[in-house]
Structure 1
């Protein structure tokens, strides 16, 4: 009986921390049926000062991406948030505080986290965000309940190079390009010091392999804003 209980807890833990499983809510993670040989780039945890360098590189290669922003960072760097939008990228909700306690929050608290991020984004950037990426990819029944009230579409990923915990740019890049396929959605973090370097190398490789890049909303044929 104890073994069954442990197995159940382990199963719930796995399902709750992997948004790609689509167990609690439907999430958009990849689209292998996309008509073009294209992938999408996404960045989490900004805006930060490092985001500006990333924007410059994206401009240089004429690439558009999705930025899932933390509300308190939008509040701290309003000019960078507006610059993301101005340059033709899309922004999405990544909660207000990006707390590590995400998996333990009540649905009411999660709802407040999402709404507060939305309110700041609309006030500063003039956008009503329709896309949500859960911090750490955590989706559970409480998150589901909150999202049923907000109506956000959940955006996951299918390529996660763990750039937030791996120091080696070479290893991160290798994880991205190893089995790269059309319709993949790549997760990176614009608050990591090596992201700009990794991004530029990645864009060169994509060009060499004849991959184009599209925004996540185009990849999944959904609306980024309400």
Structure 2
């Protein structure tokens, strides 16, 4: 996978070579512009495609597992309307999941958050505010956002979260530095449902079921009726395929809390 430092080193070296050669050969000016544009595109796509591990290494699956397990993960909750529905379905099918919660939603629904943990699911950090401009925050502001959620959860249930799900799937040098400083583990996915897009229930379910295999991490959201409908059909599919949904820390064999 592409790494930011590697790409930057290659492009800096390339520019040095081009500048050196320009003393002996004639290059059109737009060659330098083209090199800069390619670097910009790689950095931009690396920021938005979490699976590239461009700025920050995230864990996306466990393909080495010998167990028939997958991990269903939910982002953006807890939601007072839909999270209880998700919990009811998970209980019905004896499944476990991981909820990457937004701090301000935990603050608003503390008892629902406690219920998630009480029923055997794992919780992780999805920032405190999930602000639309989160990708433009500096390192200290990112760290403050993450720490605020960590402190809130520790005060509420006595657990210090280690798992972080990048907001909007966006990473950059500031986010990477803050995550590393706080000693967090970034969790990505390799099966993205796209349940927050205009795709209908059937399309979302097909997208998941045609991609899901042992060791995969599935991304859903506990924020809509469509996602809940998809969840029930997904749990039936997993049962038919003899795949069990476990928490992401169990799938990846790591500790979710300090």
Instruction: Give the structure-1-normalised TM-score.
Output: 0.97
For residues 81-96 of structure 1, the aligned pairs below 5 Å read 81-96=113-128
User: Residue 25 of structure 1 corresponds to which residue in structure 2?
Assistant: 56
Counterpart pick for 1:35 among 27, 45, 66: 66
Counterpart pick for 2:75 among 44, 50, 70: 44
For residues 38-187 of structure 1, the aligned pairs below 5 Å read 38-49=69-80, 50-187=82-219
Distance in 1 (alpha carbons) for counterparts of 2:181 and 2:245: 32
Residue 70 of structure 2 contacts residue 216 of structure 2 at CA under 8 Å; is this kept in 1?
yes
Distance in 2 (alpha carbons) for counterparts of 1:170 and 1:126: 40
Distance in 1 (alpha carbons) for counterparts of 2:199 and 2:133: 24
Distance in 1 (alpha carbons) for counterparts of 2:104 and 2:244: 33
Cα offsets for 1:158-192 (capped at 9, x unmatched): 01121112340111101101122110100000012
Distance in 1 (alpha carbons) for counterparts of 2:87 and 2:246: 15
Distance in 2 (alpha carbons) for counterparts of 1:69 and 1:197: 20
- In structure 1, list runs of 5 or more residues that go unmatched: none
User: Residue 45 of structure 2 corresponds to which residue in structure 1?
Assistant: 14
Deviation at 1:208, TM superposition (A): 1.0
Distance in 1 (alpha carbons) for counterparts of 2:250 and 2:138: 33
Distance in 2 (alpha carbons) for counterparts of 1:98 and 1:26: 20
Counterpart pick for 1:198 among 230, 234, 242: 230
| Higher radius of gyration, 1 or 2 | 2
Instruction: Give the structure-2-normalised TM-score.
Output: 0.85
Distance in 2 (alpha carbons) for counterparts of 1:17 and 1:52: 31
- In structure 2, list runs of 5 or more residues that go unmatched: 1-31
Deviation at 1:111, TM superposition (A): 0.5
For residues 204-223 of structure 1, the aligned pairs below 5 Å read 204-223=236-255
Residue 166 of structure 1 contacts residue 172 of structure 1 at CA under 8 Å; is this kept in 2?
no
* CA RMSD across the alignment: 1.1
